[in-house]
Amino acid sequence: MNQLDKIVALCKRRGFVYQSAEIYGGLNGVYDFGPLGTLLKRNIRDAWVQSIFTTQNNILFLEGALLGSHAMWEASGHTQNFSDPLVDCTNCKRRFRADEIDLEKVCTVCGKKAWTDIRQFQLMFQTQVGAATDSSSIAYLRPETAQSIFVQFKNIMSTNRVKIPFGIAQIGKAFRNEITPKQFLFRMREFEQMELEWFCKPEKVDEYFPLWVKSREQFYEHLGINKQHIKLREHDKKELAHYSARTTDIEYEFPFGWKELEGIADRGNFDLKQHSKHSGKDLSVYDDETKQSYIPHVIECSVGVDRLFLTLLCDAYTEDTIDGEKRTVLKFSSKIAPIKAAFLPLVKKLSDPIHTIYQTIAGRGYMVEFDESGSIGKRYRRQDEIGTPLCFTYDFESADDNCITVRNRDTTKQERISIEKIEEYIQASLA
């Protein structure tokens, strides 16, 4: 089994991620997140929000609709440009993204060379809104969260006390009918984005762009991702998206190679200009200093929650041998670990006192677990596999010395601390 297959298996075994509608054979490129996956996603979102605020504090949030009108996606350029090159093998009928295979060679599935011409495949999911089925009822599931930020830009500015420069951020679902969804959560058909659009004066773009790149890099460091597996890559002119004047990707070295984790783009004033033109509404702002109106420029930072989820799993996944026994560990940083600590009685008959301690800590808002079933070794292994940084074990001496043993997930070293110090200990690990 390769590392990605092992991660997929662990995700299912421990309740992080399930194939959507698995009992019906699954839906390709669509996943459900289980109890632990839900907690991990929540920690990712919280960490992202915190990180953008520590870079700039004048940021507002939006929760835009998932469905968007034809007019909106026409103006944004997506109906015309948001496509991937598609090619079919006429022999085995498989479909491929033409930019991902060598058309000079035979089909990797059937070994024949029988390619169709390349054609552009629209990635947006189209649907019909309402009972009428004419062209006016066409709508799309959004392929990026950014557009609702642009179309609500004027409303947000006029109903909130903000001045350029400021940011609008959004976390939410996006949908793309990817030709070949693959590599688990890397390329999905339904996924979640965290996007920040930073509006500034055109002459300030060169100042803010590197600032955001730096801040985004620091975010991944803060999440505990190995620096060796992160690098920046500037887009060539010919690979730039239709809206972008400049893009820097933050890439991660996945088990299947270096790939984009986050894109930071200078979108210029492309989007606001397009929406101004198509809607007939003035989206410019007035500059008190120059006494002139202008359309703000935008720097965008965009990362997928799910892609970051996969990145964190790949980075944390470790197999090691402790005292001759093999184990699998997710070495998550405490900040994003779904469960911060586990409370375990050494044997079942010691359950009551440690259950009371567990309830006290849980009641103070910590995401913690209590587990009394199976041998203590087995329970440690389970916590290692889900990335719990600390295990507190109540043993036969605990009632007498009012102390508990705390085990560190990564080193497996144990130390004895006073029961009163448990919360302090957890706090220190989260700092």
Q: Which is nearer to ligand GAP, 46 or 401 (CB)?
A: 46
CB of 249 to ligand GAP, least distance (A): 7
Range 273-276 contact pairs with CB under 8 angstroms and sequence separation of 24 or more: 274/75, 274/76, 274/77, 275/72, 275/75, 275/76, 275/150, 275/151
Q: Any contact of residue 302 with ligand GAP (CB under 6 A)?
A: yes
Q: Of 50-109, which residues contact ligand GAP (CB under 6 A)?
A: none
Q: Which is nearer to ligand GAP, 176 or 335 (CB)?
A: 176
Angle between helices 3-13 and 305-316 (to 10 degrees): 110
Q: Of 241-260, which residues contact ligand GAP (CB under 6 A)?
A: 260
Q: Any contact of residue 144 with ligand GAP (CB under 6 A)?
A: yes
Q: Any contact of residue 195 with ligand GAP (CB under 6 A)?
A: yes
CB of 190 to ligand GAP, least distance (A): 8
Q: Dump strand ranges (E) for 36-137.
A: 59-61, 67-69, 83-88, 95-97, 119-122, 126-128
Q: Which is nearer to ligand GAP, 261 or 422 (CB)?
A: 261
Q: Any contact of residue 372 with ligand GAP (CB under 6 A)?
A: no
Q: Which is nearer to ligand GAP, 217 or 306 (CB)?
A: 306
Quick one: which of 176, 275, 340, 382 contacts ligand GAP (CB under 6 A)?
176
Interface with ligand GAP by CB under 6 A: which range of 113-121, 297-305, 354-362, 399-407? 297-305
Which residues contact residue 128 at a Cβ distance below 8 angstroms, ignoring those fewer than 6 apart?
137, 138, 139
Interface with ligand GAP by CB under 6 A: which range of 46-54, 185-193, 347-355, 371-379? 185-193
Residue with tokens 């001496």: 397
Rounded to whole angstroms, the Cα distance separating 185 from 180 reads 12
Q: Which is nearer to ligand GAP, 260 or 385 (CB)?
A: 260
Nearest alpha-carbon partner for 403 in 425, 383, 374: 425
Which residues contact residue 146 at a Cβ distance below 8 angstroms, ignoring those fewer than 6 apart?
170, 195, 197, 271, 300, 302
Quick one: DSSP state of residue 107? P
Angle between helices 205-222 and 35-55 (to 10 degrees): 140
297-304 and 190-200 beta bridge pairing: antiparallel
Q: Which is nearer to ligand GAP, 186 or 394 (CB)?
A: 186
Q: Which is nearer to ligand GAP, 84 or 287 (CB)?
A: 84
Q: Which is nearer to ligand GAP, 258 or 366 (CB)?
A: 258
Q: Any contact of residue 172 with ligand GAP (CB under 6 A)?
A: no
83-88 and 190-200 beta bridge pairing: unpaired
Q: Of 303-322, which residues contact ligand GAP (CB under 6 A)?
A: 303-304, 306-307
Nearest alpha-carbon partner for 338 in 385, 407, 392, 405: 385
Contacting residues toward ligand GAP, per CB under 6 A:
144, 146, 176, 178, 187-188, 191, 193, 195, 260-263, 300, 302-304, 306-307
